[in-house]
Chain A
Amino acid sequence: MTSAPFPTGPINAVSGTAIAVRGDDIDTDRIIPARFLKCVTFSELGPAAFADDRAELNGQHPFDQSAHRGARLLVVNRNFGCGSSREHAPQALMRWGIRAVIGESFAEIFFGNCLALGIPCLSVDHDTALAVQAAIEADPALELSADLETLELRGAQGPSWRLTLAAGPRQMLRSGQWDATGQLLANGAALTATASRLPYLQGFAAA
């Protein structure tokens, strides 16, 4: 399995070919079944993405089609990534090669887990999702670019589609500050002040 370098720094656009996985409410157990969680590193998860769905479809799953190998953009429908909080799900997708997810809506924990890896989850309306999925299926070589600056999804020719991303995550990705650890550690004094006013850390001493 070949894979581009993992995301680092500012993310202003994600470009490449795309892959469509259709269906609402695709949960993280389906993205990575629990038996693959028996590991102490994420490193081997890429080939296991959608393992059971792929077995069920017997080679017909998009992740098994050679035309979609190397895809960078994953296009999905509603409530993608619901269920378990397992970061193994976006880790598996990232290690398979996905660098951005475009869909009608996302489960909250999945969205946050992707953000923490530098993988934008961009929203589109229902008709757009279906149109983009159809375009990808018709032409797996179609190169798309998801632009976080203009919030447009564009092909080399043809239509462009409107993307939605909340201001906060967008700013974090574009500024390269999507990995929160450094920011959280920068506020030590403020954190100590917060802790000092929490009754349960102060023996419930009268205020």
Chain B
Amino acid sequence: MGDVIVGKGLTKVYGTTQKTHALKGFDLNVRKQEFLSIIGQSGSGKSTLLNLLGLLDRPTEGSIELVGVDVGGFSKRERATFRNEHLGFVFQFHHLLPEFSVRENLLMPCWIGGQSSSMGAARTRADEILELLDLGDVRDKQSNDLSGGQKQRVAIGRSLMNSPDIVLADEPTGNLDTKNTEQVYSLFRRVHEEWGTTFVIVTHDRSIAEQTDRIVEVRDGRIEQDVRNEHLAPSGGRSGTP
């Protein structure tokens, strides 16, 4: 299966007078339908990497190819359109829009994409996703009326609405208790298996990363280890790429 993410020599430097190197020549290839986690301590550069892959930020140096498209020369508007059409995001904070109902929050990526001709189909898909996420009963509620776990499940549902090629999740369980954390990962796994969606999950929690198929450990802006799950070495060790 082909690569849906090809990052070459990714460097990100913040600041002009006092420079901080968040990423230092990072290479990453992710195959289609992979279920991958990126782990590392706070400040290691993993969120920066996810922002670059999600076209929310631009690398100082290096190139990114997503689903076979070189996105380096994209304008701001082209990046926004690409995000909407090909990528799904799940953030640490659910980031739902309190002005809209649960179902409307799910429909938001379709509305942004302007797919007005298929709004009926989008509604049906939203309802199917809500059933999958066990949120069918709360579809018409305002997002503020939900529990933390429910909100994060709605955010997952929203990330899946436009049938993205890649779902990028940044500490998606960072604010959840153990039970909800388990539920979220089961959902990710189920969607991955049933729909074949590629998942890139950033987490600082090693036990969660161990539930994914491939683990990339980042330290000081560089890859520390990149292994299949069963070959994961103890933190600080180095292993061969898969």
**A, B in one complex:** no
